[in-house]
Structure 1
Amino acid sequence: MPYFDSARGRLHYRRRSLDPVAATVVLLPGTGQHSGHYHRFGAALAATGIALWTLDTSGQGLSEGDPHAPGTLAELVADARGLLEVVRGDTTTAPVLMGHSLGAVTALAFAADQAAELRGLVLSGTPRRATEITPNPRPPTLAVHGIDDRRAPIDAVRLWTQRCGSVDLREYADAGHDLLHEPVRDRVADDIARWVLATAG
């Protein structure tokens, strides 16, 4: 199984191999989730030629660590950097970094210092605290969000995208926080795939 070493132990990741690859997405899950939860999403992306790499956050899935303490933001960013280094060893094109919930916070924090390493950002279920991070310059960014998200209410994301002016916000009615596991998941996956391919091109 694929692992890489981090300062906090061995971290596990999954990858869906494709040949040829039109684009690459690296996904950072939310709290309590791991790479095994994203097989449907990976299959949807693969059907369009997009390779998906997904991290098991420290303490989740098959990664070492404390399941009740995923780490500080600095540690999470370092873990994301570790996976992106593995990805860079496998592809010649810059990946799109995607984060859900806590992963969205991590993705934005990574992009704040390393925007040039990314083709784009995809943010899902973005918490309010993530909107306080404004990478400059920021890579092209897509935000997908459920209108009925109670864990991360959409109003903060709407205000943030208005303030930034360059974020493509897609809103989904009758959908909550975990868009990739809700009835709208096929439409969300299709929107993400189309955006990634357009950005990668």
Structure 2
Amino acid sequence: MTSPHPLPSWDEPDGTVPRGTVVVLPGRGEHGGVYARFGRRLAADGYRVRALRDATRPPRGPETERDTAASVLDTAAKLLRDETLPGPRVVAGSDTGALCAAQLAARGTPGLDGLILAGLPTRPRSSPVPPWREELDQRTGCPAHRALLTSDPEFTRGALEEAPTGELPALDRISVPALCPAA
């Protein structure tokens, strides 16, 4: 796959037998680089990690795709079918990234072996996004991740105000193992 904008990626150390692949789908306001610490940690444990962009944001650069969620889903599906990436292949999504991951699984996307769904939005927000500190509390409790989001100029504060893209797929159609940590 060639792209004018390479995906953030992290590979297992040289000489390590790869244990699998994790495709990361960021949530509203995030970008793949937000998951660098997560990607480096998994890579150190022998995984290949590929992080995509926020499905709710249009791509940067000369591309002009109208349906950004569809393009992220297409890219994720291509990665899951990529025979050069070791299996098992897992999609880890946060917020709307979790929604996209669940959509991939409900569609029976080939190559998908498991899911990690963090902060899966199950209904539209009933109230406005709170001030930054409260939004940050809703996003993460990790001190390192909080500092990263606070200082990241590419992160979009207030993005939780936007309605999640797409509808919640029929979760009963998901046949791969899924980890859904409680909020």
Distance change >3 Å, CA 116–CA 84, structure 1 → 2? closer
Return the offset for 1:42: 1.2
Amino acid at match of 1:47: A
Q: Does 2:89 match 1:95? A: yes
- Note if 1:28 corresponds to 2:25: yes
Offset, 1:50: 2.1
1:38-49 matches, cutoff 5 A: 38-49=35-46
Helix, strand or coil for the counterpart of 2:181? strand
In structure 2, how many angstroms separate the alpha carbons of the residues matched to 1:38 and 1:64? 24
**The one of 47, 53, 58 aligned to 1:56:** 53
| 1:84 alignment partner, SS class | helix
Partner of 2:91: helix, strand, or coil? strand
* RMSD of Structure 2 on Structure 1 (CA): 3.0
Identity %: 29
Equivalent position SS for 2:40: helix
Moved over 6 A (4+): none
Is 1:128 aligned to 2:122, yes or no? Answer: yes
Q: What stretches of structure 2 of length at least 5 have no aligned partner?
A: 124-166
Q: Is the 8 A contact 1:70 1:76 kept in 2?
A: no
SS, match of residue 50 in structure 2: strand
> Which residue pairs with 1:117 in the alignment?
111
Counterparts of residues 151-166 of structure 1 (less than 5 Å): none
C-alpha separation in 2, matches of 1:90 and 1:143 = 28
Structure with greater helix share of residues: 1
Please state which structure has a larger fraction of its residues in strand.
1
Q: Which amino acid aligns with 1:28?
A: L
- Give the equivalent residue in structure 1 for 2:179: 142
- Structure 1 residue 112: Cα displacement: 1.1
Report if aligned partners of 1:11, 1:57 keep a CA contact under 8 Å in 2.
no
- Bigger RCO of structures 1 and 2 (CA < 8 A, at least 6 apart): 2
